[in-house]
Amino acid sequence: MTQRMSYREALREALREALQTDPRVFLMGEDVGRYGGTYAVSKGLLDEFGPERIRDTPLSELGFVGAGIGAALGGMRPVVEIMTVNFSLLALDPIVNSAAMLRHMSGGQFSVPVVFRMATGAGRQVAAQHSNSFEAWYAHVPGLRVLAPATVEDARHMLKPALADPDPVLIFEHAQLYNLEGEWPEPGGVDICSARVRRAGSDISLITYGGSLFKTLQAADELARLGVSAEVIDLRVLRPLDDATVMASVRKCHRAVVVAEGWRSGSLAAEVMARISEQAFAELDAPLARVCSEEVPIPYAQHLEQAALPQVDKIVAAVQAVMEQIT
């Protein structure tokens, strides 16, 4: 029988491996120790590694994010857990004005090898202040590397190269994925530079990442039953974007829909569409389209929350609309 692992367990195993192999690594954040993490990712690690390596912090993102950056400048390899992306806004200044810019502003004399992990996304009825997808804000900033692991394999293996990166790395974990199960990842690793083709196709490229990946794969299954062959691209790395993989798919399929949970205005979906227009416009047989969250604060009521988010039926409808257009 094939052994299976949850996304949550994969993240925990990645942390355990990092703590075991490098004495400079430590985990810090709200409730990561005694409570085992808000999403139970660090459960058991305090008993295994002790309070010097698993550090509970006060409820001050500005304070403990700054402390993590200082530790990285001092030669440590901190993993800083921020409970949710919404709360990371309290620490925008140290992340964007300090961590992202110190290599440049020091003329290469200093680097900030810190990893920030945070939950992102909606779908859990936790209301507007705990449900956003702000990855595009961070993907806008030079000096940061932004990752969005969607699979158990990526959850297990992305932390190691992130900790080896001399610059700050942000890892966005969609909160709907923690219970996801997949096959036990093979030993080895993954890169943190490239996108992945998760499903091959020939009629249309579906480009997505994070919590929207599995909705997009479900939509591709439904489209296959309707006679449409959809290729699914998992961006995985939101900064720097892997243009080559995206453009190769567009040049093969000649149509594309971008699926992302963020709002449409100023979104990562808009950036991907702009790059396709700049680099592969002549290859398109139909206008580009996107499926994003509605332009509203994420509602609390379940039916309204689901209506506000990208869903399988919306993706299928967007693809059908594109396929009906002829240039």
Domain 4-183 identical in fold to domain 196-323: yes
Q: Give 121's pLDDT tier (boundaries 50, 70, 90).
A: very high
Q: Please write the tens of the pLDDT for every residue from 215-267.
A: 999 999 999 999 999 999 999 999 999 999 999 999 999 999 999 999 999 99
Task: Give the C-alpha separation, 272 to 277, whole Å.
Answer: 9
DSSP helix/strand/coil, 282: helix
Buried b or exposed e, range 46-71, using 16+ CB within 10 angstroms: beebeeebbbbbeeebeebbbbbbeb
DSSP helix/strand/coil, 157: helix
Fold of 4-183: Rossmann fold (3.40.50)
Give the pLDDT confidence score for residue 101 in this predicted structure.
97
Kindly state the tokens that stand for 122: 């909606």
Mean pLDDT in residue range 34-60 = 97
Q: What's the CATH class of domain 196-323?
A: alpha beta
Enzyme catalytic residues:
61, 130
Give domain limits for the chain.
4-183, 196-323
